Chains A and B, each alone.
Chain A
Amino acid sequence: MKKSKDDIIFEAVNTFFVTVFFIIVLYPLIFVISASISDPSLVSQGKVVLLPKGLNFDGYRRVLEYDDIWIGYRNTIFYTIAGTLISLALTLTAAYPLARRDFVGKNVFVIYFTITMFFSGGLIPTYMVVKALGMRNTVFSQILLGAVSFMNIVIVRTFYQTSIPEELQQAAQIDGCSYARLFTSIILPLAKPVIAVMALFYGVGRWNSYFTALIYLSDRNLYPLQMILREILIINEINMEMLMTEGELEVIHKRVELATLLKYCVIIVSTLPVIMAYPFLQKYFVKGIMVGAIKG
């Protein structure tokens, strides 16, 4: 099919705008990376525009020596893995009976779950429940709160219904397969795409959250990475030992420059794991989102 003149103009204009958007999204990301490995004084003078200048890895060296970050990292990895496993276990199992046509009492459960989407007790009543359970200042507050959302159960249920043939389940049942067996040896292996999507949703959510920690934790040793980041990036509380090197810190603006350099490095160090996991899981995104959308 040959292109008309109008089409060529259209494509040129369209590609131009898409490219503008592309640059707007990409530029800040590249800038942070470049600034994190550049000479901090060149960055503050505005000389680093796109590519790094005065290459140095001093910032990363200092970040890696900062104990709080390691503690935060350790806690976050634990909260993310444990939290995601719990979330997956609850979501994948709850969705299964709801996906079966012959499940007696299905509607009662659906109503029970749906109500939780529209009504919640709010901050204080939830806080009081957590307090009453003695979960404040424990890891349980960090891995149990927000473990399941009905929205995700619906996505998984829809996936079970649309992507796993009913005949397969019936055949297995005729062979004397129990529901538990059916679930572990037929449903789960076939549900890999939706498991990947759920793991991503829950995992990224856990990795990035600071709210539950802000509300329920006061023990610094339990702080997740995001709480440490908040101190560094937002409250501007940087352990000054981190900035100390002989003689260098007499000048106040040197100190600010160094603090800013550390911020760039901290951003990279904390975001890297998520960005790295993302290409592996990306192929499942669209599928997962579409499955969820069918129900609407």
Chain B
Amino acid sequence: MAELGQGVVVNLDPKPHHNKKSKLKKMLNDYQLYLFILPSVLYFLIFHYAPIYGVQLAFKDFVATKGIWGSPWVGLKHFKLFFSSYYFWEIIGNTVGISLYSLIAGFPIPIIFALMLNEVSNKHYKKLVQTVSYAPHFISTVVMVGMLYIFLHPVYGIANTLIKFLGFEAVDFINKPEYFKSLYVWSDIWQHTGWNSVIYFAVLSNIDPEQHESAIIDGASRLQRIWYINVPVLMPTAVILLILNAGSIMSVGFEKVYLMQTPLNIKASEVISTYVYKVGLQSARYSFSTAVGLFNSVINFMLLVLVNRVAKKLSSTSLW
């Protein structure tokens, strides 16, 4: 019967509950809804908020016997240590270099691909290309990097077989620092262009065909129609994705870089995330590693806010 009452209350009183009493009553009535959301609230409490509490380690010297709370404060010691360390500029340079390269090369390609695929008139061919282009997205990072190692092997790799066939010297791509960034970025583009274009493709397929028909009557050429109808339609989506990407310029994912690292290419391949892992878990310098991680997230957040503000000014599209 209580449930019946609850249903009626909802429907007879669609206005927001203004006074505290009826709000409380509604909350009690809806206790099930709070049970629905409770597990996720707990999840984030344990695995997100509890670690955020641990971030104070960055300003302390961690002593295992005293725990996080009891360890002595040392202020900005670990940050200063990181900024003045020999590796600092190299790591920052690699991190920013790889992300900017990814962004500049990787961002426009899915848009161009979607625009071009959209113009293919044979429906079956279009579908086929699309389906195949998604497939690499589902390959794991380990397999992706494994494929790079096999294909680029200096003696047995197919890339070097081709290079030797053309009469050049074989190149040890993986171990040469100068190739690291390009290998990283272009293998990513190979893997994710199809998937990243899905969203643009979907937006394009929602365009009202009448727009194109009337443009044709007005004598617009194919390229003009793409440029003046299709491209503007994609812009809001593109801007949002650009903001999100730009917000993570200072964070290069750990998984792929770590797998691609070799002792010989380390000068070009050490980034913040791999450094945090090495000093933190491999050398057990907990406080120092936490400080580096915190520095990274603060910069990321500032970038996100900054890019969002710029985007808002330029195109009136923004995250919030």
Interface residues of A in 103-126 (CB under 8 A from B): 103-105, 109, 112-113, 116, 118-126
Chain B residues within 8 Å of A274, by CB: 138-139
A181 to B296, CA, bound (A): 45
A97-B37, A98-B37, A148-B43 known; A118+B301 contact, CB < 8 A: yes
- B43/A90 in contact, CB under 8 A: yes
- 0 or 1 for each of B284-298: is its CB under 8 Å from A? (1 = yes): 001001100110110
* B113 within 8 A of partner (CB): yes
Interface residues of B in 148-164 (CB under 8 A from A): 149-151, 153, 155-156, 158, 161-162
* B3 within 8 A of partner (CB): yes
Q: Which of B37, B51, B202 contacts A126 (CB 8 A)?
A: B51
- A263/B150 in contact, CB under 8 A: yes
- A148/B37 in contact, CB under 8 A: no
Chain A residues within 8 Å of B314, by CB: none
A to B contact number (C-beta, < 8 Å): 278
* B250 within 8 A of partner (CB): no
Tell me which of A51-59, A60-68, A208-216, A237-245 binds B. A208-216
- 0 or 1 for each of B143-182: is its CB under 8 Å from A? (1 = yes): 1011101110101101001100100000000000000000
- A208/B48 in contact, CB under 8 A: no
Chain B residues within 8 Å of A10, by CB: 119, 222-223
* B105 within 8 A of partner (CB): no
A225 to B198, CA, bound (A): 29
A46-B162, A104-B23, A116-B48 known; A125+B135 contact, CB < 8 A: no
- A125/B57 in contact, CB under 8 A: yes
Chain A residues within 8 Å of B57, by CB: 124-125, 128
Chain B residues within 8 Å of A98, by CB: 37
* A264 within 8 A of partner (CB): yes
Q: Which of B8, B34, B138 contacts A97 (CB 8 A)?
A: B34
* B233 within 8 A of partner (CB): no
- A124/B304 in contact, CB under 8 A: no
* B81 within 8 A of partner (CB): no
* A163 within 8 A of partner (CB): no
Q: Tell me the minimal C-beta distance from A5 to chain B in angstroms.
A: 11
Interface residues of A in 253-288 (CB under 8 A from B): 256-257, 260, 263-264, 267, 270-271, 274-275, 278-279, 282, 285-286
* B211 within 8 A of partner (CB): no
* A251 within 8 A of partner (CB): no
- A109/B27 in contact, CB under 8 A: no
* B84 within 8 A of partner (CB): no
Interface residues of A in 173-187 (CB under 8 A from B): 173-180, 183
Chain A residues within 8 Å of B207, by CB: none
Chain A residues within 8 Å of B161, by CB: 45-46
- A123/B149 in contact, CB under 8 A: no
- B36/A144 in contact, CB under 8 A: no
Query: Residues of A at under 8 Å CB distance from B?
Result: 1, 6-7, 10-11, 14-15, 17-18, 21-22, 24-26, 28-29, 31-32, 43-46, 89-91, 93-94, 96-98, 100, 102-105, 109, 112-113, 116, 118-129, 133, 144-145, 147-148, 153, 170, 173-180, 183, 204, 207-211, 215, 226, 229-230, 232-234, 256-257, 260, 263-264, 267, 270-271, 274-275, 278-279, 282, 285-286, 289-290, 293, 296
Complex A-B: 28 CB contacts under 8 Å: A14-B116, A15-B125, A22-B133, A25-B133, A28-B151, A46-B161, A94-B37, A94-B39, A94-B41, A105-B27, A118-B304, A119-B52, A125-B51, A126-B54, A127-B280, A210-B140, A226-B140, A229-B142, A229-B143, A233-B142, A233-B146, A257-B156, A267-B143, A267-B146, A267-B147, A271-B140, A278-B134, A279-B131
